[in-house]
Structure 1
Amino acid sequence: MCAQVMVADDDPRHAEGIRRYLVADGHEAVVVHDGQAALDTARRLRPDLLILDVMMPGLDGLQVCRTLRRESDVLILMLTARSTEDDLLVGLELGADDYLTKPFSPRELMARIRTLLRRSSRGTPGLAGRRTRQIGRIGIDLAGHHVTLDGVRIECTRGEFAILAAMSEQPDRVFTRAQLLHHTRGIDRSSTERTIDVHVANLRRKIEADSRRPVQLLTVHGVGYKLAAA
């Protein structure tokens, strides 16, 4: 599929290299070199995907991600030179859909981009049964790719949606972190099972009356998580 992609990176050579790969893969690509330009251009163009470097002058990538996630559901793929697990998870906590640590290969970058765009256009793959599900207070529209709580739509990242969609297929079944990780992005060298804990914590803040005492998105200690039917 052809998508409009925005690249925000303060290294002109690096950004231009990414742009060329995007164009060669059939996409439209726009490049900016600082955080404020990324924010302004994303608001104006409304791209399908934003490739966002963390370290930029002015507003950094994390600030841009935080702001845009409050305003839209644009796909965000973050690029970071930070290698510790806690640093890598910060972007996901702010609502990024995926991240890559530098250095990375162009093939890996393009594979991540194709996966994000494919899941965005087709919804979560591999799910059987009805396209709309109601689990307690939570409504999950697989075709429309959105979630409601007591009939009111709530904003979820694609990772959060993928977790709910997977668990809603079999309410009360316990899913391991590894199983949920497969639904969100597949298992690769940069993803960890702690990613799932971040998504679950974010979801609880959105769907539970008290995220510290959840009644629907439950922890099964030593195993994983389940979505309670009642």
Structure 2
Amino acid sequence: MKTILIVEDEEILREISKDYFLSEGYRVLEAADGKTALALFQDHEVDLIVLDIMLPELDGWSVCRRIRKTSDVPIIMLTARVDEDDTLLGFELGADDYVTKPYSPPVLLARAKRLLESRSKSSKPAQPKDSLIIDDIKVHFPSRTVTINGARVNFTHTEFEILTYLMENQGIVITREQLITKIWGYAYVGDDRTVNTHIRNLRTKLGDKAAMIVTIVRTGYKFEAQA
């Protein structure tokens, strides 16, 4: 049974979301503030977090930042703000997805399912080998770990999915639309800045290997081994 942590200070919204997840067979933990959320996360094995931004005690940005120091658990952020920069900040801090309030609980449930299914599939690769190595970047699928030049580098769930998708298609141009369909799996509303932000985060973490992700102007990206 998968465990969902819902962090929302508005009790009605929290209860509605909780009922939808319970009806689908998920176990649900609840928190009305950021500090409680962190305590629950430390004490329980959580498979996905639904995280509101505007919270008492500790806001969603801070909660996301602290969780990302130790975990790549999928995080969906809830925001009542419509500013695109707020959404991009969430992605930069390590969020995997976001839902704007007011939102449809079935849509939230569908996005959560997509993230959980994506994680489940990626942890059981269809290929016989359990690792992928290109130059000094090594991906170990069962543990979902990445080492670069022998040192482990932590990636969020979405960053890991994008990186491995590009690596598995080395030398092939992957359009932004293909990335969105592969990673998020639903119709995307917005501009390309969201994808660009994840790619920028990936390049930062790749360090001297950042140039291996090549931008194809007005199209997408390609992963190329260094000469």
Does TM, normalized by the shorter one, top 0.5?
yes
CA displacement at 1:215 relative to structure 2: 2.5
In structure 1, what is the equivalent of residue 217 of structure 2?
A: 221
Partner SS for 2:187: coil
Distance across 2 between alignment mates of 1:193 and 1:141: 29
Contact 1:119 1:125 in 2 (8 A): no
CA distance in 1, matches of 2:59, 2:21: 23
How far is 1:129 from its partner? Answer: 7.4
- Taking a change above 3 Å as real, the CA distance of residues 159 and 6 of structure 1, as seen in their structure-2 partners, is same
Provide structure 2 residue ranges, at least 5 long, that are not aligned to the other structure: none
The number of aligned residues is: 226
Taking the aligned partners of 1:201 and 1:73, their CA distance within structure 2 comes to 18
Equivalent position amino acid for 1:208 in 2: G
* Deviation of the 1:220 alpha carbon: 2.6
| Residue 132 of structure 1: how far off its partner (Å) | 1.9
Report how far residue 218 of structure 1 moved: 2.1
Q: Secondary structure at the match of 1:56?
A: coil
The answer to whether the 8 Å contact 1:101/1:190 transfers is no
Query: Which amino acid is 1:198 matched to?
Result: T
> What is the rounded CA distance, in whole Å, between the counterparts of 1:128 and 1:192 in structure 2?
33
2: CA distance, partners of 1:45 / 1:115: 22
Deviates more, 1:125-134 or 1:148-157: 125-134
Counterpart residue number, 1:40: 39
Q: Secondary structure at the match of 1:215?
A: helix
| TM-score, structure 2 as length reference | 0.90
1:94-131 C-alpha deviation (Å, 9 max, x unpaired): 00111111111121111111111111222179976754
Identity percentage of aligned residues: 37
* Partner secondary structure for residue 68 of structure 2: helix
Q: TM-score, normalised by structure 1?
A: 0.89
Q: Structure 1 residue 188: deviation in Å?
A: 2.0
- The answer to whether residue 24 in structure 2 is matched with residue 25 in structure 1 is yes
**Quick one: distance in 1 between partners of 2:140 and 2:53?**
32
Rounded to whole Å, the distance in 1 between the matches of 2:129 and 2:189 is 33
Partner of 2:99: 100
Q: Secondary structure at the match of 2:58?
A: coil
Deviation at residue 6 of structure 1 after TM alignment = 1.0
Residues in 2 aligned to 1:126 and 1:223: alpha-carbon distance in whole angstroms: 28
2:48–2:73 CA contact under 8 A, matched in 1: yes
Aligned residue in 1 for 2:144 = 145
Aligned residues of 1:62 and 1:94 also touching (Cα < 8 A): yes
Deviations 1:133-181 (A, max 9, x none): 1112211233433222123221111211111111112212222222222
What are the ranges of 5 or more consecutive residues in structure 1 without an aligned counterpart?
A: none
Structure 1 range deviating more: 40-49 or 21-30: 40-49
Q: Deviations over 1:59-105 (max 9, x none)?
A: 11011001110121222111111123222121111001111111111
Distance 2:225 2:71 in 1: 30
Aligned pairs for 1:145-224 (under 5 A) are 145-190=144-189, 192-209=191-208, 214-224=210-220
Residues 142, 165 of structure 1: 8 Å contact kept:
no
Q: Is the CA contact (8 Å cut-off) linking 1:127 and 1:169 kept in structure 2?
A: no
CA RMSD, aligned part only? 2.1
The answer to whether the Cα contact below 8 Å between 1:127 and 1:166 also exists between their aligned partners in 2 is no
Letter in 1 for 2:216: V
Q: Secondary structure at the match of 1:22?
A: helix
